[in-house]
Amino acid sequence: MSTKERIELLQGTLDLLILRTLLRGPVHGHAIAKTIEFNSDDVLQVEQGSLYPALHRLIKRGWISFEDGTSENNRRAKFYQLTAKGRRQLAVETSKWDKLAGAIAHILRPAEQEGEL
Amino acid sequence: MRRRKRMLENLEQDIRDHIETETQDNIERGMSPEEARYAALRKFGNVRRVQEETRDVWTFVWFEQLLQDIRCGFRMLIKNPGFTTIAVLTLGLGIGANSSIFSIVHAVLLRPLPYPHADRLVVVWEKDDEGHPTNTSYATYVDWRSRSHSFDYLALASYSMGTLTGWGEPEQLPALRVSANFFRTLGVRPALGRDFLAEEDTPATNNVVILTDGLWRRRFSADPSIVGKSITLNGTSYTVVGVLPRDFQPIVSQGLRNIDAELYRVLGYDASLPWACRTCHHLSAIGRLHAGVSFSQVSAEMDTISQNLWTEHPTEYSAAGVIITPLVEQIVGPVRTALLVLMGAVGLVLLIACANLANMLLARASQRRREIAIREALGAARSRIVRQLVTESFLLALGGAGLGFLVAMWTPGLLSTLAPGTVPRLAEVRPDVPVFLFTLAIALATALIAGSAPALRLSGEDLQKNLTDAGRSTSGPAIGRLREVLVIAEVALTLTLLVGTGLLLRSLERLLGVNPGFDAQNVLTMQVSVTGARYKDDANVRRFYDDLLGRVRALPGVESVGMTSEVPLSGNKDMYGFHAEGKIQDNPEKDPSAERYAVSSDYLKAMRIPLLRGRSFSSADAKGAAQVVLINETAAKMFWAHDDPIGKRVKLGGMDQPWWTIIGVVGDIHHDKLEIPANMQAYIPHAQWPYIDSTMNLAIRTARPSTTLASAVREAVRAVDKDQPVSHIAWLSDLVGRSGETRRFTLTLLGVFAGLAMTLCILGIYGVVSYVVSLRTREMGIRMVLGALPADIGWLVVHQGVVRVGIGIALGVFLSLALTRLIATLLFEVAPTDPLTLAGSTLLMLAVAILACYVPAWRAMHVDPMVAVRHE
């Protein structure tokens, strides 16, 4: 276990992270979890189970699809991939996130605009 | 949805694979297999919850959960058949009582009368100088009709009687004489033939009749070609012009004249007839308002018209003004209070049933605390547990609703045996859709109320404590207290019902204790009327009745026989203005009215109406002799309080009538109802009345009750003239009894409900006390071991129960005092706060409560202390 401080995910951001992960092509469930952890330097703590309701939610909305395939260790697994709709949604969500992050940063660090204290 | 299926199919597998992959990763990182698996599981989180949440993504969650709850609830209920049976029975009785009474209230009070736009039908009365509604007259009606603009139609109806002859057995048929527009006013068209025509509504052309469907089937074998045929009524030939539809209800004739008319004759008046005069108040006016005309508008208009008529004819009216009564009010008004009281009573019964169910659920809930604690520990949300418990009580309530609706289905049959003729529109009572919906609605409300209290109470408890506590069947103090509160409420409500029932019972007892003014024992009454060409001659009428009286007097067992134009308490009535010489007002119409009886000389003797002063009639008071009258005590006091009425003279029914000399004073009799004080009454010899009464009633006093007398009298009538019908055969004592019938109907039902309430209440008290005993068995065992006597233990239990009951009784007394005012109009000579009733009901409640406590107490007393001490 890492001694780094871990951050719990904000509500709804898991969807965004999944979409972003799938941008690189079809991935199966466990790999998605691993990718998110790895790419965030293990800072983001994803309870791996919560991935599944999120995946199902995205499929129901039509943002991702899946097909059956075989994983690297020869197991049958579902491979998830972005749909066109999901790609567009990723763009929307990303820009929303940028705005949100910017706004929060702006509130937390007003000095950046007003010069050093 | 296919996606859904494919996704969910392999969910478990997907998750398992995921965890195995993670485990594999962990092993590769150097963990031991076991360690690796635990780490993977920890990282994944709660597998079951993930599965559930994932499924939730795809489902109407609430619906699936509901199905689950229902399945689970069913299993729980089936596993406890005893509990389920008692709960469903309790609810079924409570709900059934409500459905049943609601079906009556709905049919009688709520459902519109069975005529199109029945809300526009009104009865129009003249107002007398005391402000009471009275019948109108033909001349007034003609003016009303020509001067008013508020009505589509304004029609007339009058009581009539038709003796049907020539089609088998002569039969007297209850009938109405109606103006030609009567059925158009109601909005009813004959099913066969046609309606009356305006040109038939004259004295010369009025020999047309319309039959009801029932009469057509009963007497004319549903002859399809009846229209145009002649029938003989009262010796005159009438043409049948129409037959009413099968679903036509005679409730108008019930409301106006208290009869189920089977036959309608056209009225056929014109202004020239002597009985068309303004003071001839014997007609009922019924109108259909224009759409959009309000009651206040029509009242204002008719008041103005009436005021003008009084100005134009000052001596022919005693007051100005009309009274407009909605037809439905005219028909159902008299029973409204009684029905609403019954509805209130069953409402209380339902509350008690509800409290009982809550009580049972609480008792069971405390046995289920372990189960619920485990569910919570496994992650069930509190709201889900509450929902599960409420669902169970919903299932019980649905069972209760089914049972309740069954009761509602039996109601019409029950009513027809229990209360024929006491409440109008009872024939319309049926378990229809509104009754079904009402049943369902109260069942669901009951479930919600009874089910949620224990559910909230239980799920609010400390989970940890319940888990560790679970081996013991004790319940938290909160549940125990709630159950005691419920029992207190049950006692209070039951006592209220008992007090209400007690008050009605005392009223009925008082009422039946009223001396009617005559001796009703062993007196048979029946109506005889003479019709036909022969009886156009009054002498023949007199001869017929003399002959008949002679024959009846000679029958075995007959002590005496009299004859009267009106039988007290039978519903028929004849009022005449009473004008006492020297005391007549400037406007004689303002003189009070008296009930008039045309009687045979033996009538007073047969009825045992006491003669107080002067002499009674004798056979010498015949046609042509000095005209004599007997008055009752009330009339004597009214006019001659300080001098002797004997020898004074009165006119009856108008200044153009002859003088009658008073020869005696007799006792008062109750004519209308036992609860109404006696009116002024005047008796005249039948033979001396100028227009001889063709319809008379026999009053036959016998030595002992006889079942064969009626047919013997029928034979006697047939022997005198075979074409004259006999009707209205009734024992006078039954007529007296019938006077209290609506009251008895209300009382019977209220009594049943109070009994039901008491049974439920006993069960409630018993349940709680036995429960408390079971909780304290060990303590009691210890007490006994330490030397307490069984009596001490028994007292402990009873004492505890009785304290609760005492609180309930105190509350119940307050509740009764607050609520019994509502039934004040149903009471007779009993105050709503009658202390005797209150005391009696309280004692009964207390006795019953002690009994309910005593059974568990007795069990506590006889338990083996050694067993009790080890009890847990």
DSSP string, chain A: ---S--EEPPTTHHHHHHHHHHTTS-EEHHHHHHHHHHHTTT-EE--GGGHHHHHHHHHHHTSEEEEEEE-TTS-EEEEEEE-HHHHHHHHHHHHHHHHHHHHHHHHH-THHHH---
Residue B456: its pLDDT value, please?
67
A78 at B interface, C-beta within 8 A: yes
Overall average pLDDT of the B43-53 stretch: 82
CA dihedral B372, B376, B379, B383 (to 10 degrees): 90
Across the interface, whether the CB atoms of A53 and B54 are under 8 A apart is answered yes
Residue A117 pLDDT > 50:
no
Q: Do B58 and A50 touch (CB under 8 A)?
A: no
Partners of B54 on chain A (C-beta within 8 Å) are 52-53, 56
CA distance A13 to A17: 6
Cα–Cα dist A56/B4, whole Å: 9
Closest CA to B260 of B303, B213, B292: B213
d(CA B260, CA B252): 9
Could you tell me if B721 and B548 are in contact, meaning their C-beta atoms sit under 8 angstroms apart? no
Residue with tokens 């008796």: B683
Q: Would you say residue B467 has pLDDT above 70? A: no
So what's the pLDDT on residue B471?
43
| Residue of B45, B49, B54 lying closest to A56 (CB–CB) | B54
pLDDT(A116) > 50: no
Query: Could you say which of B7, B21, B22 has the minimum Cβ distance to residue A56?
Result: B7
DSSP E strands in B104-181: the ranges are 121-127, 133-134, 151-165, 171-178
CA-wise closest residue to B178 among B157, B198, B150, B195: B157
User: What ipTM was predicted for this assembly?
Assistant: 0.81
Query: With contacts defined as CB-CB under 8 Å, which chain A residues touch B47?
Result: 49
pLDDT at B637: 93
Across the interface, whether the CB atoms of A52 and B11 are under 8 A apart is answered yes
Burial status of residue B325 (CB atoms within 10 A of its CB: 0-12, 13-18, 19 or more): middle
The predicted structure's pLDDT at residue A102: 87
| pLDDT above 70 for B457 | no
Yes or no, beta carbons of A53 and B15 under 8 Å apart: no
**Contact between B680 and B594 (Cβ < 8 Å):** yes
Is the pLDDT assigned to residue B504 strictly greater than 70? yes
Give Cα B605 to chain centroid, integer Å: 38
- Which chain A residues in 5-44 lie under 8 Å from chain B, judged by CB atoms? 29-30, 33-34
Q: What is the pLDDT of residue B465?
A: 61
For residue B785, give both structure tokens: 């071991």
Q: Per the CB < 8 Å rule, is A71 touching B21?
A: yes
Spatial distance between the Cα atoms of B51 and B782, rounded to a whole number of angstroms? 53
∠ CA A6-A12-A16, nearest 5°, is 85
Q: What is the DSSP string of B468-483?
A: HHTTS----HHHHHHH
User: How confident is the model over B115-174, as pLDDT tens digits?
Assistant: 888 889 999 988 887 788 888 889 899 999 899 888 999 999 888 777 888 777 788 888
Tell me if B49 and A30 make a contact (CB, 8 A cut-off): no
Higher pLDDT, B469 or B275: B275
Query: For residue A49, how many other CB atoms are within 10 A of its CB?
Result: 23
Task: Choose between B303 and B373: higher pLDDT.
Answer: B303
Q: Do B57 and A73 touch (CB under 8 A)?
A: no
Helical spans, DSSP H, in B678-731: 709-720
Higher pLDDT, B69 or B290: B290
d(CA B68, CA B60): 13
Is A70 touching B (CB cutoff 8 A)?
A: no
CA quadruple B321, B326, B329, B331: dihedral sign: positive
pLDDT in tens, B309-348: 888 888 888 778 888 889 888 888 878 888 888 898 899 8
CA B315 to chain centre: 43
Closest chain B C-alpha to A110 CA, distance in angstroms: 38
**Interface contacts (A, B; CB < 8 Å):** 64
Strands (E), B600-678: 611-614, 628-632, 649-652, 659-666
d(C-alpha B745, C-alpha B751), whole Å = 10
Pair B100, B408: CB distance under 8 Å: yes
Using the Cβ of A48 and the Cβ atoms of chain B, whether some distance falls under 8 Å is answered with yes
How does DSSP classify residue B136? Answer: B
Q: Do B21 and A57 touch (CB under 8 A)?
A: no
Q: What is the mean pLDDT of residues B830-839?
A: 88
A48: distance to nearest CA of chain B, Å?
4
Q: B33-44 and B47-58 are packed helices; what angle lies between their axes, rounded to 10 degrees?
A: 40
CATH topology of domain A7-112: Arc Repressor Mutant, subunit A (1.10.10)
Q: How confident is the model at residue B636 (pLDDT cuts 50, 70, 90)?
A: very high
Q: What is the mean pLDDT of the segment spanning B713-737?
A: 85
Residue B419 is predicted with a pLDDT of: 66
CA distance A57 to A93: 15
Distance CA(B818)–CA(B826), nearest Å, equals 16
Q: Which tokens sit at B274?
A: 């002597």
Residues of B contacting chain A (CB within 8 angstroms): 3-4, 7, 10-11, 13-15, 17-18, 20-22, 24-25, 43-47, 49-51, 53-54, 56-58
Chain centre to alpha carbon of residue B702: 36
Cα of A73 to nearest chain B Cα, Å: 8
| B525, amino acid identity | T
pLDDT average, residue stretch B501-508? 87
Q: What pLDDT does B333 receive?
A: 81
Confidence of residue B634 (pLDDT cuts 50, 70, 90): very high
pLDDT of residue A115: 47
Domain boundaries, chain A: 7-112
pLDDT at B628: 94
Mean of the pLDDT values across residues B658-670? Answer: 93
Please name the residue of chain B whose CA is at the shortest distance from the CA of residue A78: B14
Q: Does the predicted model carry a pTM greater than 0.90?
A: no
> Taking the CB of residue B290, how many other CB atoms lie within 10 A of it?
14
Q: Mutation test of the interface with chain B: which of A36, A44, A46, A56, choosing the one with the most B Cβ atoms within 10 A?
A: A56
